[in-house]
Amino acid sequence: MSTMKDFSPLELSLNVSFKDKNFLVQAFIHRSYLNENPNSGLQHNERLEFLGDAVLELVVTENLYQNYPDKPEGELTTWRAALVNAKILSEIARSLKFNDFLLLSRGEGQEEGKARDYILANTMESFIGALYLDQGLKVCEKFITEHILSRLPAILADKLFEDAKSRFQELAQEKVGITPTYQVIEEWGPDHEKNFKVGVVIGSEVIAQGRGTSKQEAEQDAASQALKKKGWN
């Protein structure tokens, strides 16, 4: 496998050395890169992402199960969702300089904002998948504990695990006696990377808009923006 990037600075900063560098490189290859480099002999990272997603969920779930024995399943589920959502994973990926190592098409390389966050969150999962195949579960546990589970205290302190949509519905019914509804304003992108813009409506007024890579994520973002706009949070 040959690419234009040297991944050794990343290994150095993460204090991990891959036995098979192909796993590491593949974790950073976005599907779009192969469209422009069809004869590269490389594979994109989506299979690694599939594996890494399961490893991440297992490690986080076991950690929460062991460390919070008095918490019910429902509460632990919301905590886990807050830890492994795209927003948190993309923030962590950016802080670890994953952005510098992505292999993207020229067009995708110029995209920033939500689209890049989505790619970075997926790359975080594919990196965990690559780490698992190369180094095993113990090393993955160390990485996830250090970089992802370490975010839990802040998430709990700021109540980031609370479901914004449920909260906004509860407060809208309490304050104005109306249940909010959600409308898709716009959708774009290919099937495997859809983006949605959704408006949250009370009566006939669009209170706020949100974006996401699924309707559910966009609705949550819209509810979160609406809470801020109304000063209800």
Residues tagged active-site: 53, 125
Cα–Cα distance list, 68 to 64, 88, 172, 177, 219 (Å): 6, 21, 32, 37, 30
Question: Which token pair is 178?
Answer: 């109306």
Q: For 109, phi and psi rounded to 5 degrees?
A: -65, -25
Task: Give the Cα separation of 191 and 61 in Å (integer).
Answer: 30
The CA-based angle 46-47-50, given to 5 degrees, is 90
CB distance 48 to 122 below 8 Å? no
